[in-house]
Amino acid sequence: MKRKIPYPNIKYYTFAKEKDFLLESGEYFGPITVAYETFGTLNENKDNAIFVIHALTGDTHVTGDYDPDNTTPGWWDTLVGKNKAIDTEKYFIICANYFGGCMGTTSPSSIDPETGKEYGLKFPMFTVTDMVKVQKELIDYLGIKKLKCIIGGSLGGMLTLEWNVLYPDMMENSIIIAAAHKTSPQIIAFYEVGRNAILSDPNFNNGDYYNGNFPERGLAIARMVAHITYLSKGAIESKFGRDIKRDILETDQMYGIFGPMFQVESYLRYQGRKFVSRFDANSYLYLTKAMDMYDMTRGKNRLNDIVAKFKSRILIVTFTSDWHFSPQESWEIVKALMNEDKEVTYVNIDSPYGHDAFLLKNEELEKVIKSFLSNHKDNDKEEA
């Protein structure tokens, strides 16, 4: 099953054509193509660019405001677009698909030029550091010396942190939303169950399934398991409770008596089916593993020592009911930044929607981001 890239404004940049991109593993890889979209206009000084980093299974289409028929919603239409908190009339917005993702950037589903077949599990293992270095290649290609801001949520927030580790001079501002400096053992456990569901699917075929039957059931189960971590207990209670499906007494053709009885079961299976239609199982394996492996301290450094090198002005946002990346985990980063006298703003937003809250419409989040960007240091120049 091939992923379709329907976005009219998508662009591509290819580099490392000589297979000379050095991965953190020590392996050289290439060529690498990056799929990306831009929204708004880059000014003459090239100093109004904001790099938006999507979450685990996102893509380049952060806003639908520039679609010819406005038929494809952007995944962050609530925040990014014309006259919105991240204003595309004022800023030049860049959003790129991850290295290893399946929405146009080189990944396990891409064709290996040496074999003429999809890479599959022959694709090299990569890390968050590698993903950021690929993004840096794109920003350099666009001729941008310094980003006005870099912003990301969840895994995107981890990449935003890693940008500050690797390239502290590359951004004036950083916004990290619903993220942590490392993945907790509990979340690693959930993703491991999901990966095992994919690997155990009879159609997985050791990752070589592109010309045969797709491992749909395994990927759907993986998504169901992960989706539970994106919700809060309160959100599930209020949205579904113990409501029974109206047709519970009818025969379920696929599952028989073990078909979905409760509304929450039906919802999770719907999310699984929907996900299978747009994502690649191999990409899911690689990206979740990269997320699990990430530790900004590299497992041996003090968090204070790492953030001491940060130079950007930082906003960290959390949500009270998020247990995927809890407020306490982000607070560790905030404390380390304060200990090193860094300029950091922390906001913990009261929301019942769990980890998914950063993707939903939230007026408080919109106001916080808009205020943070508008109170930039450059405004001081007008007073001089």
DSSP category for residue 301: S
Is 322 a residue of the active site? Answer: yes
The label of the residue with tokens 């895994």 reads: 155
Query: Which among 154, 174, 283, 312 is annotated as catalytic?
Result: 154
Q: How far apart, in Å, are the Cα atoms of 186 and each of 8, 181, 296, 319, 366?
A: 39, 15, 18, 18, 30
Query: Which among 61, 227, 324, 355 is annotated as catalytic?
Result: 355
The 3-state DSSP class for residue 231 equals: coil
The whole-angstrom separation of Cα 105 and Cα 99 is: 6
| 31 cis-preceded (ω within 30 degrees of 0) | yes
Query: Which among 59, 65, 201, 322 is annotated as catalytic?
Result: 322
Nearest to 344 by CA among 316, 383, 307, 317: 316
The whole-angstrom separation of Cα 269 and Cα 263 is: 10
Beta-sheet pairing, 28-29 with 21-22: antiparallel
Phi, psi of 202 (to 5 degrees): -60, -20
Helix axes 185-199, 281-293, angle to 10 degrees: 160
The whole-angstrom separation of Cα 372 and Cα 265 is: 40
- Give the chain's radius of gyration (CA, Å): 21
**CA geometry: angle 98, 358, 268, nearest 5 deg:** 80
Nearest to 161 by CA among 177, 145, 184, 147: 177
Amino acid identity, residue 294? Answer: Y
Q: Please name the helix (run of DSSP H) or strand (run of DSSP E) that holds residue 337, with its range, or none.
A: helix 327-339
Is 355 a residue of the active site? Answer: yes
Backbone torsion region of residue 52, taken as left when φ is above 0, otherwise alpha when ψ lies between -120 and 50, otherwise beta = beta
How many CB atoms neighbour CB 211 within 10 A? 8
- The encoded tokens of residue 103 equal 């929405």
How many CB atoms neighbour CB 379 within 10 A? 9
Catalytic residues: 154, 322, 355
